[in-house]
Amino acid sequence: MSGVERQDLTAACHRDGAFHQALEVLQAAAQRTRTGVVCLAVPLAPEGRLGWSEQVDLGAARHKAFVLAQHLRLVRRAKLPLRSGHPVLVREFSTLPLWLVAPALYRWRSRLLFVVNHNLQWALNQRSEAWAFRRLHRAGFRFAFFETMEAPVLREWGFERSQHVILRHPVPDIRGRIAASASDRPFIGLAGHFRPEKGMIEALRVLDGEPKLRERIAIGLPNPPEFLRAYGAGRKAVQTPRLFHTASDEDFRAFLARCGVIVLNYAARDYAWRPSGLMADCAAAGTPVVIPDLPVQREQLQWPTPIGEVFQELEELPRAVFQALEKGAWGGYGFDAYRAARGIAATAAALDAIWTPPENRTRGTPGRS
């Protein structure tokens, strides 16, 4: 492909989010719990799909049928551990299909916990999702929200910490699998699966206006053709960037390890109340992150210690990037402490605390502050 630098690839494609390994930490953490937590997931896309933007060939009705079938399968998979007395953590789900199958799980709702990723954000933008979310809450089902429950809509709906919980978004342990030297970080990177709402092109144009940053810009994507099509009309306004194909896990990790900073520019309408798997991957790679001031991701960036910078307006992005580059160069970010507080052991302790009676808990359990 013209304009794309290719590394050796070990996989042709991944479904959306497959190169974000943070949710897999929940699986590993559940296996370490004293309370015997069983972690399950509901696939929301068929294996081999690059992402939601590539699912149009399925047809809306077929995709809805696929997702509903996966939730029916969840009921069958969850019943065995629930009947045996195990708590069950569901790390991925879709809200409306969950409401449809919820009656089959109702009797075990106190031992079920559903991890909220995109669900709250979708509920803010889609009335049917919001309706299902409220009905599940009123029926006594429990949700785990990443980082914060300060969304105004949750107060309006009557969501309380007495029923639901807060988890810290986990960080995968990939340091032993990063090929590039941690000291060799020439790039200012934009990464992840390209979609317009992620604001990559807008951020690229602002960074291109700063001569000291322009030559260091690089983009790592598993779907370069989509980016190049969207980039097309504006390519005369900015120089052609370095573009790396990062469809495989190895290529993605290698790209993060070559970046002195990763820039995210997510739109508030689509990302204000959802965490970033890419940020977790950057934390694992020891790569500072610069993000817009969105509530969940700001908390994710700064607890228990900052691993990057926040900007308010897009015009402030170059300043935040310079600051992150300077601070990262002299080791000013506490990646070790961050990873320890969000790794497998800390996440397992947080899960145990959810199902441990208060009188048996120890103080300072991670994820409950």
Which CATH architecture fits 176-333?
A: 3-Layer(aba) Sandwich (3.40)
H or E segment and range at residue 31: helix 22-31
Comparing CA positions, the residue from 126, 108, 106 lying closest to residue 118 is 126
Domains of the chain, by residue range, sit at: 22-171+342-360, 176-333
Sequence-ordered list of residues with C-beta below 8 angstroms from that of 191, at least 6 positions apart, any chain: 219, 220, 221, 246, 252, 255, 256, 259, 262, 278
H or E segment and range at residue 226: helix 224-231
Amino acid sitting at position 359: E
User: What is the average pLDDT across 297-315?
Assistant: 97
> Hey, which of 37-51, 72-86, 177-191 has the most confident mean pLDDT?
72-86
User: What is the average pLDDT across 83-100?
Assistant: 96
β-bridge pairing 112-116 and 143-146 = parallel
Beta-bridge partner residues of 187: 259
Report whether 171 contacts 338 (CB < 8 A): yes
pTM for the model stands at: 0.86
- For residue 357, give Cα distances in angstroms to 248, 265, 352: 43, 41, 10
Rounded to a whole number, what is the distance in angstroms from the first to the last CA of the chain? 48
Residue 112's pLDDT band (cuts 50, 70, 90): very high
Both structure tokens of 331: 């080791």
Q: What is the pLDDT of residues 11-39, one digit of tens each?
A: 222 333 333 567 789 999 999 999 999 99
Both structure tokens of 339: 């990873």
Residue 203's pLDDT band (cuts 50, 70, 90): very high
- Does 45 score more than 80 pLDDT? no
Sequence-ordered list of residues with C-beta below 8 angstroms from that of 254, at least 6 positions apart, any chain: 7, 178, 179, 180
Amino acid sitting at position 118: H
Sheet holding 38-40, edge to edge: 38-40, 88-90, 112-116, 143-146, 165-167
Amino acid sitting at position 255: F
Report percent pLDDT > 70 for the chain: 83
Sequence-ordered list of residues with C-beta below 8 angstroms from that of 78, at least 6 positions apart, any chain: 38, 40, 88, 90, 105, 108, 112
Length of the chain: 369
